[in-house]
Structure formats: C-alpha cells, structure tokens
Amino acid sequence: MSTNSDKTPPNLNGKQKKHLRGLAHHLEPVVHVGREGLSESLIRSANQALLARELIKVKLGQNCPLARKEAARQIADRTGAALVQLIGRTIILFLPNPELPRDRRIHI
C-alpha cells in the first residue's frame, strides 16, 4: 500500500481544529510509536486507520527515538494528513476520505 504523502493535507482553520479536537476527545490511540520509530509498517497502519476513520490518535511511547514535535510533523507529512493537535505524547491526525459512506464521514 502506498502512502498518502502525494496528497496535500487539508488546510484547517482554528474553528475546524477545535471541532476535530472535540470529536477526538473520546478516541483511544489506534497507532503506537515505539522504539522502532516511524517505520514503513507503522506508516501503513496509520494510513489504513485514516482511510477507515478519518480522525485518529497516535500515541508516542517513552522509548520513541524522535522528539515529539518532529515525530508529529513526520507522521503527518508521510501520511498526507493534517496535524490537528499535539498534546503531551498524543498526536491527533485528520485526513478526509471521500470514499467512506456519507454517514461515516466527518463533516467540518
């Protein structure tokens, strides 16, 4: 599976980010970054989760070799997703998927 990095991440204004943060509040992290860092398999997992859900949380483990801001930037760049928020060691990413059924899409 190829990455979504050829796509331009959606431009989100402050109000849209606030809405997405509210939606993400109850979500559990679906991708966990460990000592291997941002491996190809981790990026594939993040891409699959974004395609299925559009909005995901990524948790950076204590043994992640990258600084949290650098890890957030890299994973957003490599997936083509918008970085909604980085709080502590949790990253919130958003990537709209127009192929999802209308009732499962996030409308911002």
Query: Is the whole model's pTM more than 0.85, yes or no?
Result: yes
pLDDT in tens, the chain (108 residues): 445 545 678 899 999 999 999 999 999 999 999 999 999 999 999 999 999 999 999 999 999 999 999 999 999 999 999 999 999 999 999 999 999 999 999 988
CB 12 within 8 A of CB 82: yes
Task: For the chain, give the percent of residues with pLDDT over 70.
Answer: 94
- Residue 22: what pLDDT? 97
Q: How many residues does the chain have?
A: 108
Of all residues in the chain, what percent carry a pLDDT higher than 90? Answer: 87
CATH 3.20.20.70 fits 28-98, yes or no: no
Please name the residue ranges forming H helices in the chain.
14-24, 40-53, 68-79
- Report residue 70: phi and psi, to 5°: -65, -40
Asked whether 49 and 56 are in contact (CB, 8 A), the reply is yes
